[in-house]
Structures are given as C-alpha cells and as structure tokens.
Copies of this chain bind each other. A is one copy, B any other.
Amino acid sequence: MTRGYTIPIGGAEEKMRTPAILARFVGLCGGERARIAVVPTASMLQTTGRKYEIVFRRLKVASVTVLPIETRADAARSAYVDALDGVDGVFLTGGNQLRLSTTLGGTPFAARLIERHAGAGLHVAGTSAGAAVMSEHMIAFGDDGGTPRADIVTLAPGLGLTGLAIIDQHFRQRDRLGRLLTALSYNPSFVGIGLDEDTAAFIGPDDTIVVAGSGAITVVDPSEVSYTSMDSANRSDPVSVLDVRLHILTDGARYDLRRRVATPPPAVVELPPSADALDEPVVSQAST
C-alpha cells in the first residue's frame, strides 16, 4: 500500500457553514464510508474531542471515535493503539504541539500512527498544534516578527510525517515569517510551509502539495541560499539570509516538495450564461 495524505491545517478552519477543508479530508477518507479517529491530546479542554466528533458526524462519516489520550501511559494502551488499524483517517486537534510531542513521542501509539501512515494509506490531518507536530523538525515555540534572529525559534522533534518540510501555522495572522526563516537558516535543506488560518496543505504520497482553503500558504524554499550569517550571529541579532525563494499559494495551487516547483491554480472554467452562446468555454486565469 501507499502512504496516506498528510494534511496540515493552519488553525481556525471553518467548522460550521462551509467546512471545505474538513469535508475534503472526509472525502479522501471515503466520504460516507469514512472512519475517523480524533486525537485531542494537544488540547487542555475536555470539550475539544467532542466538538470535532459533532463536526464529523454532521459531515456524515460512517464512524468517528475520540481517543482521549492524556498521558504517556494512555499512549501505550492497546485499545487506543489498535484503534488506528480500523480507521481511514486521524485528526489531530489544536492546542500545544509540545503536549503532543511529549505525550506521544516514542510511544506505541506514535509508532503505529507513523507506520500506518507510511505504509497502510492512513490519512493524517491536523490543525494548528496538530499541523506543527507533523514536521520532523517541529517549531515548538518562538517569537513573532518578520526578521529572523538566531534565538527567535525553538525546534523540537515532531512526529516526522513529512521529512521534507518545516510547518508553521496561524502564519499571516501571527506574523511568523521571521521564525520560519530562522528555522530554515539553521540548515537550508528543508522547505518552509507557512499556513494561514483556514488553509490547508494536502500533501500527497508523491510529496506534491495541493492548497485548499480561504487563506494562502507561504512556501519558503532556501535551496538556493548563497549566504546566511546564522553561524556568526549573537543570539538576539537579526540574521542575514540571501537568495530565498518565496511562493504565496492560494486555493488550488500546487507545490512539488521534491522538485521544488510551484504551479498556479488551474484555469477556472466559467460557463457563459448560456452554454450554447460560445463554441469554447471562457477560460480565465485565477489569481495566485
């Protein structure tokens, strides 16, 4: 079998009127046949799991189960670990990504999740903290602001569902370009993905991202960086970074994480008022 989709969401995704991102996740998981597990571990609120249970029920999935993993002992319980064998998709809620990594890291639950995602087609979506933890190199916390500084960000090991990208979330809303640039400047071998709220990256088994949602994804590609002063900067100094390639991608746009190539959203076919009025449909380029 193939790898499942990896779906980081920038937080604050629409849940009620037009939950486009969550509906698309459900569609990937089989639509009305979809079996979903919700992992509310990142959240300190007892109501978070239940909230998503209601949202997924409204999307008419076949089953939705909340796995209330709160401790490392919970993450070793076979009832929770084995539950992963019977679902098509896992949803990691928001909260604190260090709560996810400290509670799940190195446990049987994390091992099974990683294994089934890699080889059994299990799709994994996560919002906010649930998105951050998908990186191998997870942004644990940091300061806001656009300019990179040597100590502006703290990285920690995440679940590593993608080894090609470092993910950040609430990106435009919390002015996080500086901390993402800092993370990438330490070692310019990953792609930075800054997710706006209500915006998701659907990362396929071929490592191509399709953007969905009402905001944008900021892709930061440091592969051509010719110079950074990161190694000589004092901790709070601003840091030089030269030759970063940046893409702002909106709904429908694509990004190939292996070849590092961006593709605009497909041309939108707007049907004229009467389909007979023209021989050819009007094609307009969507804005990127």
| Most chain B CB neighbours (cut-off 10 Å) among A138, A140, A158 | A140
Query: For A190, what are the chain B residues with a Cβ–Cβ distance below 8 Å?
Result: 106, 157
A: interface residue count bin:
35 or more
Contact status A155-B154, CB under 8 Å: yes
Pick from B151, B222, B232: contact of A154, CB under 8 Å: B151
Pick from B137, B223, B225: contact of A157, CB under 8 Å: B137
* Residue interface mask A122-158, B partner, CB < 8 A = 1: 0000000000000011101100000000010011111
* Residue interface mask A148-173, B partner, CB < 8 A = 1: 00010011111000000000000000
Flag whether A71 is at the interface (Cβ < 8 A).
Answer: yes
Query: For A189, what are the chain B residues with a Cβ–Cβ distance below 8 Å?
Result: 105-106, 110, 157
Flag whether A265 is at the interface (Cβ < 8 A).
Answer: no
Flag whether A112 is at the interface (Cβ < 8 A).
Answer: no
Contact status A72-B227, CB under 8 Å: yes
- Check A137/B140 contact, CB under 8 A, given A99-B231, A227-B71, A231-B98: no
